[in-house]
Amino acid sequence: MSLSFLKHRDVVAGSLFCLTGLVVALGACQHPLGSAMRMGAGYFPLLLGGFLTVLGGAVLLRAFFSRQRHLIGHLTIKPVLLIGAGVLAFAGLLGSIGLAAASFLLIALSGLAHHESRMRELLPLGLFMALFGAGVFVWGLGLPLPLLPA
């Protein structure tokens, strides 16, 4: 196994998929699984973990048989920090500013991670995703999430 294979980005992605899928599947086994007709708390996470593991295996196989060698580029810290800040802001502010504003903030902060992003593109996307999230989670599924600031 050559060093260029180990640095192949599909190897890294496939390995992360497999690892995440296995952790989720093992965590799901700690809950009652139930059956397909009466699903327990661990049934769906076990299916997702298994699917993610299989997907990771497929990505690893593709990397192994691929003739192209797309090496991993350098890691820049700005996108990592902005996406992380967006997720943390969403999680921390959801209860106080509501789903719509927290979703908008998540899209705005995460969108700034790309070097070619523009606010005139992020504003309509953030508005659409805030409305979509409200429609699916608050109105569609009836989850008790605050929609607007209290």
Domain of residue 42, residue span: 3-65
Q: Would you state the pLDDT for residue 24?
A: 92
Which residue, of 65, 85, 114, is where some domain finishes? 65
Count of alpha carbons within 13 Å of 25, Cβ hemisphere only? 14
- Cβ(90)–Cβ(102) below 8 Å: yes
The answer to the question of residue 145 being in a domain is: no
Number of domains in the chain: 2
- Coil vs helix vs strand at 36: coil
Q: Would you state the pLDDT for residue 51?
A: 96
Q: Identify the DSSP state of 34.
A: B
Q: Would you state the pLDDT for residue 23?
A: 94
Q: Cβ-count burial of 98 within 10 angstroms (0-12 exposed, 13-18 middle, 19+ buried)?
A: buried
Q: Would you state the pLDDT for residue 9?
A: 76
In this structure, the answer to whether residues 82 and 136 fall within a common structural domain is: yes
| % of the chain with per-residue pLDDT over 90 | 35
The answer to the question of residue 51 being in a domain is: yes
In this structure, the answer to whether residues 136 and 81 fall within a common structural domain is: yes
